[in-house]
Structure 1
Amino acid sequence: MDKWLSHPNAVRLISLALGILLWAVVHFNPDSTPNNVASLIETRTFTDVKVQVRGLDEQSYVLKSMDPTKVKLIVRGTPSDLLAARSDGGYIVEADLSTVKAGTHTITLRTDLPRSIQTIQVEPATVTVELEELQTKEFEVQVTPTGTPKEGYKAGAPVLRPTNRAHVTLPASEMDRVDHVGGSISIEGADKTLKDKSVKLVAYDGSGQEIPGAEVDPAVLEVEVPITNPFKQVPIQLKLIGQLPAGLSVANLAPSAEQATIYGPQTELDKIDSIEADLNLSEVTKSGKVDITLNKSDAITEVSPATVTVDVQVVLTQTRTIQGLPITIKGLGNGLKMQIMNPTSGQADITFKGAPAVLDKLQPGDVSVEADLSGRGPGTYTIPLNVNSPRFVDQSGGNTSIEVEIANIGTEPTPTPGLPTSDEAASGSIDPDGTEPPGTEAEGAGGSAGGSPTPSPSLTPTPTPSSSLSSSPSPTDGA
């Protein structure tokens, strides 16, 4: 017997038999019936199980609708398992939208239940979903101050950081509702500048109502509101000082701001119509951006912005000559008349220099040539010419002065050898060679020289090197 018990297989068989016997003793109830044993498994019905959405690409689509949103779920399991699953929220019915695009679709529902619980039925077995594509659009942010600052103080325009623009994301069908993106900041009773204030951004419709569901990015911006004494917005005038290196011309100047806000006593503000910023051209050797400070007088307490960035475009200089420009006479005294002796045509030929693109657009009507005879009596004079040309265009050659003879009305100017007298000119006589008599005569207190139709001025380009440092855009008008 001892030998038999010492055998390993015998011990295993005995252990198995004892285990089966113990299980039978524990589970055997002489009073139980087959129906009572079967009652350990129950079937339970839940009528309000919410359908959960899985796999929706929320960056690209929005779920507009789902029908139905709740379903009936019939499951089977032991009472303890069914109770535990309900307590833990284990009855999950879901619609998988991971592969669904925009439009209306029918989705088969699936369950996610504990392993001990069996799904008998989901009713209905499908749901209808409608997905719409999301759209993102950029808007300028408008922050509105609310309330009033302390008496005697004024609020300036809010300054937004790090940007004044935000992106709104909405279903494509609702994007047209967006009128603007904005927020508000209270300045009630403020007596100093409000700095580093956070403002929540909201998308508004045309009636000023918040649009629900609109996603704004960034959701918050930092805002600064200047609270100061009286202020005024004035244009920024760029004052060019110095000269570009030889051979270079300005093609375009583009400041980062066109206006500035100045602060100070109202009496001082009333005297100021603009604010200057000095751009030293002698420091410019190539195209690029230059930061310059706005000129502030002692009476002005603050300027915002204090500096501007100017995008300076320079190119190699080119020249162009305009021939036959009329000369406007100013300052000729009453009772006097004048005659241009040289040039005999009474017109000026002026050579201009500048950027090629600027010169290409230069027209005779853009230029005026003036001679000032103020304070001069009868006699012969050499008068300097004042040539007015567009921005970035300078005179580089041609006529710089004219010779005129001034006489009293009724007195013949001194004849010039080879030239007709004024009587001959008045009678329309011509020289023996058949040409028109040269010389131009004017009377009164000024006007354009010349008594007969003036030939149209002509443009004559002067060849120069064709290469350039950079492209030469057309100049923009401004300070």
Structure 2
Amino acid sequence: MDKWLRSTWFIRILSLFLAILMWASVSSDNTSNPESSFLNGNSTDKEIVENVPVDIRLDSEELVVSGVPQVANVTLEGPTSQVAPVALQQNFSLYVELNELGAGTHEVPIQHSGISSQIQVTTEPETVEVTVERRISQSFQPSVEFLNESELGEEWEVGEPEIEPSSVEVIGAASVLSQVAVVKSMVNLEGVDSSIEARETPVKVYDEEGNELNVIVDPSTVSIDIPVARSQKDVPVTFQAEGEIAEGASVTSITSDVEQVTIYGPQEVLGDINQISGVEVETDGLSETTKKQVEIELPEGVSDVEPETAEVQIEITND
């Protein structure tokens, strides 16, 4: 044995045998251990990227398309070193190519760009049914819908709105325009305490069921003026003496520069008031002509009056 250990050839043969054993061991581990395959760059991966936008490739401005989903899901399969960065960065795009198609209904695939050929790509859905139609336009007069009108309070009145421009062009497919039921702008009246002037408001288009239609509106906004004011009414006012005047004196007249006042309140209340009569003027103990400031009392249901006071002249004569 000592003689073999001293032999150069014996040591070389033994080293070769040990090297073969080690190679066989490592090869076996690589076959059974996926992590070893990953380290060697031979692993595969599968990733699902959801809600990827789908573009429409159509150069003609005379055509309009319906049926293309806004987003699709993408499954990526291939080498981990390729799939992982693509799934993470999402630096690719999905599209449907429609430039070679004419008017009508077509089944077209969802295609992709920006993904390596080493990656297998599957989209969900894989194909879509699209309808290509001629683009048409039609004029409509937009209306105005008031939101939160009840928040104004009972004494406020909203007048007839004025819209500029008075008509807009609705552009889209003929099949979609045939569904147009309402073209309107919505104005929120919550917190409004004065007239609305030149408010820019988007124009929306709806079908009979209240679904917003996918069309182009030109112009997309309109300018709206809406008169908003408190309900008011001008009524005459009269005055009467209240109290015992001095002995031997008498009230011949009570006059004022204020002959009528403006009252504010709910319209149904104002409709029943035609005058404010008998505003009391204190004359107790007076013996000569006198001027006084008199407060004008509010009739029931009235929220305000202008002016709130009036100067009166009490004409008194003595026997």
> TM class by shorter-chain length?
0.3 to 0.5
**Rg larger in structure:** 1
Give the TM-score normalised by the residue count of structure 1. Answer: 0.33
User: Which one has the bigger helix percentage?
Assistant: 2
With structure 2 as the length reference, what TM-score do the two structures score? 0.47
